[in-house]
Amino acid sequence: MKQTLPVVGMACAACAGSVERKLNSLKGVTNASVNLVGRSALVDYDPAQVTLEAMKQALNDIGFDLVIEQ
Ligand code: 9UX
């Protein structure tokens, strides 16, 4: 399934790259594409393999946050 979610803490293109790499490294994430200007991430993932909470935690580990409460 595909969802666009707000990402908190990105200040530059390198930040966006870090977020994108981290999300794409998670098993169950088919593709993650980060929009720096929009401060968001489009994630295509398999809910049976990975949760939004797991994505949020993974980003928290590297200093960013994913807003999943909506
Ligand atoms: Mo550039 Mo983003 O130093 O933290 S990687 S602002």
Q: Rounded to the nearest whole angstrom, what is the distance from the C-alpha of residue 12 to the centroid of ligand 1?
A: 5
Question: SS3 breakdown of the chain: % helix, strand, coil, rounded to 5?
Answer: 35, 30, 35
* Confidence (pTM): 0.94
Sheet of strand 65-66: strand arrangement: 29-35, 40-45, 2-8, 65-66
Q: Two tokens at 24?
A: 């794409």
pLDDT in tens, 36-61: 999 999 999 999 999 999 999 999 99
Q: What is the pLDDT at residue 69? A: 81
CATH class (in words) of the domain with range 2-66: alpha beta
pLDDT in tens, 6-17: 999 999 999 999
Q: Rounded to the nearest whole angstrom, what is the distance from the C-alpha of residue 11 to the centroid of ligand 1?
A: 6
Residues with CB under 6 A from ligand 1: 11-12, 14-15
Nearest CA to ligand 1 atom 1: 12
Per the CB < 8 A criterion, the answer to whether 38 and 58 are in contact is no
Instruction: Look at the block and give the residue holding tokens 């909506």.
Output: 70
User: What is the value of ipTM here, to two decimals?
Assistant: 0.81
Q: Rounded to the nearest whole angstrom, what is the distance from the C-alpha of residue 57 to the centroid of ligand 1?
A: 20
